[in-house]
Amino acid sequence: MQSLYSGGTVGGLIVGAITRHGDRPAISDGTIQWSYRELGAAIGRFVTVFKAMGLKQGDALSILAGNRAESWAAMCAGLLMGMRYTPLHPLAAVDDQAFIIEDAEIDLLIVEGAKFGPRGRAIRARVPTLGHFLSFGPMEGVPDLIEAAAAAAPAPLVDESEAEEIGWLAYTGGTTGRSKGVMLSHRAIVTMTLLLYGDWDWPAEIRYLAATPISHAAGVTIYPVMYRGGYVRLAQGFDADAYCRVVAEEKITATFLVPTLIYALVDQPAIRARYDLSSLDMIVYGAAPMSPDRLKEAIGIFGQVFVQLYGQTEAPQCITTLRKIDHDLARPERLGSCGRPSPFVDVKLFDQDMREVPVGEPGEICVRGPLVMSGYWKRPEATEETLRGGWLHTGDVAMRDAEGYLYIVDRTKDMIISGGFNIYPREVEDALMAHAAVASAAVIGIPDDKWGEAVTAFVVLKPGAAATAEELQAHVKAQRGAPWSPKSVNFVAAIPVTGLGKIDRKVLRAPYWEGRKRGVA
């Protein structure tokens, strides 16, 4: 039974946006272009099809597709019906995707036939518990959801969800083992939406470009865009030339990019010069740390238009925000900050005994408030550990300055202990990327009989640039001190990243740590 204080659901947000904004342009993927009214009709048709299949409140939906308008409409339909939605990252391995489908107890999997047909069949074969299996577009032997929806009458848009039900069951990146299902209630997602709505520096006219998968950060950012009546342009992956062309042709004013993609734009001036990118008024970045020196380069090119988000799956998108005004080249030290806590989110830095650390001292970022997850799916022990003491323990270490800005040092599990010094990879990575020749860098600790762990760097040089290992070692020593200077520097063509754009340290460590026990995982 709902209480006097029930309400505040993602379904209600979707219905409200469609009702409010009617004939305004809502979403396009380059092929389909829908107004809010047309998006609502598409959602209604999917509801009709889902209900005819016997799907209902409490069932589970998952989608494996590219950035297409039908994906967003189908996901919205499921949320309206009170289903829980589990995204699948399109770049993940089949083992991980099959594990998620089985672990999340998915009742309906939808795949984009043209792109992911074979992958969908492989998942289907591995997960006998999977209920229904549909495709976007023709796929032999599999019902076509688009065809079925075209023949269906739109159902009325009625919100059947509840605030504390699971809206998204989103899985963590799994960089240290099997990923965990994070139970995000409608309450948490609506809180995120309102915080992004109120705390980010949105342009007056929102024309938002999502070039990274809408299964993750670029997707949940669509909620505040819808709430404000903005336009969403979905791009099918990131290519610098195609990206710049869409920005210029569609006068894009807001976008979300991970740092590696911003580096790609910065490092290709010939491509940028072909297009008018002056409409870009807000570039949101996050999901991985960004080098302050590379951020200076980007501000020099695009202007003071950047907004940084810091969050994690367990508290999505907006634990802290570094706003446009904070990206001030007159205060360069602040470019290394992830900002200040969002409204209605309590953030403290604790030591190992959960005592708050003083200003300038490192501590684990701990969070509480309506943004926080309800727990991990079917993992009570992990839930108890992560939410111990009534706080979400993020695993990120940061320092706070006197003005309340947080500076993330690194993940607790990534800390390198070398010669008795606690060294965080990001400190070394930022020092390396302050060198004029370095495009990107990643740092790990590897086993060493003398040092315990040796600081080891992987470096990508900028096009046409040159630097020696000795030069970079001396550069880091001068910037940070001798213990931080890498014992070895490996020049590589690219840094491995996870599907979410984070440095994949697991891949980098594997050749060195295989078969050895390690104190810090």
- C-beta of residue 40 within 8 angstroms of C-beta of residue 254: no
Find the mean pLDDT for residues 34-60. Answer: 98
Q: Are residues 360 and 463 in the same domain?
A: no
Q: Which residues contact 297 (CB under 8 A, 6 or more apart)?
A: 266
Q: Are residues 252 and 281 in the same domain?
A: yes
Q: Are residues 407 and 466 in the same domain?
A: no
Summarize pLDDT for 202-234 with one digit per residue, the tens: 999 999 999 988 988 889 999 999 999 999 999
Residue recorded with tokens 């490192």: 362
Summarize pLDDT for 93-144 with one digit per residue, the tens: 788 899 999 999 999 999 999 999 999 999 999 999 999 999 999 999 999 9
Summarize pLDDT for 414-428 with one digit per residue, the tens: 778 676 666 778 888
- Residue 412 pLDDT grade (very low, low, confident, very high; cuts 50, 70, 90): low
Q: Which residues contact 458 (CB under 8 A, 6 or more apart)?
A: 441, 442, 443, 444, 489, 490, 492, 495, 508
Q: Are residues 249 and 393 in the same domain?
A: yes
In a domain, 226, yes or no: no
Instruction: Flag whether pLDDT at 173 surpasses 70.
Output: no
Q: In this structure, what are the phi and psi dihedrals at residue 298, rounded to the nearest 5 degrees?
A: -65, -40
- C-beta of residue 412 within 8 angstroms of C-beta of residue 521: no
Q: Are residues 254 and 393 in the same domain?
A: yes
Tell me, what's the pLDDT at 520? 32
Instruction: Flag whether pLDDT at 381 surpasses 90.
Output: yes
Summarize pLDDT for 445-463 with one digit per residue, the tens: 888 767 777 899 999 999 9
- pTM score, whole prediction: 0.83
Summarize pLDDT for 481-490 with one digit per residue, the tens: 788 899 999 9
Q: How is residue 285 written in tokens?
A: 């970045």
For residues 152, 156, 161, 162, the Cα torsion angle rounded to the nearest 10 degrees is 180
Tell me, what's the pLDDT at 414? 76
In a domain, 194, yes or no: no
- C-beta of residue 276 within 8 angstroms of C-beta of residue 304: no
For the chain, the straight-line distance linking the first and the last C-alpha, in angstroms and rounded, comes to 45
Tell me, what's the pLDDT at 367? 98
Split into its structural domains, the chain has a count of: 3
Tell me, what's the pLDDT at 353? 92
The C-alpha R_g of the chain, in whole angstroms, comes to 23
Q: Are residues 77 and 55 in the same domain?
A: yes
- Computed from CA positions of residues 219, 307, 211, 197, in that sequence, does the dihedral angle turn out positive or negative? positive
b/e sequence 263-291, b meaning 16+ C-beta within 10 Å? bbbbbeeebbeeeebeebbbbbbbbebbb
Tell me, what's the pLDDT at 478? 85
Tell me, what's the pLDDT at 517? 41
Find the mean pLDDT for residues 183-190. Answer: 97
3-state secondary structure of 389: helix
Q: Are residues 155 and 65 in the same domain?
A: yes
Give me the percent of the chain exceeding a pLDDT of 90.
Answer: 75
In a domain, 518, yes or no: no
Residue 460 belongs to domain with CATH number: 3.30.300.30
- C-beta of residue 226 within 8 angstroms of C-beta of residue 195: no
In a domain, 320, yes or no: yes
Summarize pLDDT for 253-297 with one digit per residue, the tens: 999 998 888 988 999 999 999 999 999 999 999 877 788 888 999
- Bigger pLDDT: 237 vs 193: 193
Residue 280 belongs to domain with CATH number: 3.40.50.12780
Summarize pLDDT for 428-437 with one digit per residue, the tens: 888 898 999 9
Q: Are residues 138 and 255 in the same domain?
A: no
Helices (DSSP H) in 140-206: which residue ranges? 145-150, 186-199
Average pLDDT of the chain is: 91
Q: Are residues 121 and 168 in the same domain?
A: yes
Structural domain that includes position 356: 238-412
- CA-CA distances (angstroms) from residue 196 to 47, 122, 335? 28, 38, 20
Instruction: Flag whether pLDDT at 2 surpasses 70.
Output: no
Tell me, what's the pLDDT at 420? 60
- Residue 518 pLDDT grade (very low, low, confident, very high; cuts 50, 70, 90): very low
How many DSSP H helices and E strands does the chain contain?
Answer: 17, 25
Q: Are residues 274 and 352 in the same domain?
A: yes
Instruction: Flag whether pLDDT at 178 surpasses 80.
Output: no
User: DSSP string covering 148-165, please?
Assistant: HHHTSPPPP------TTS
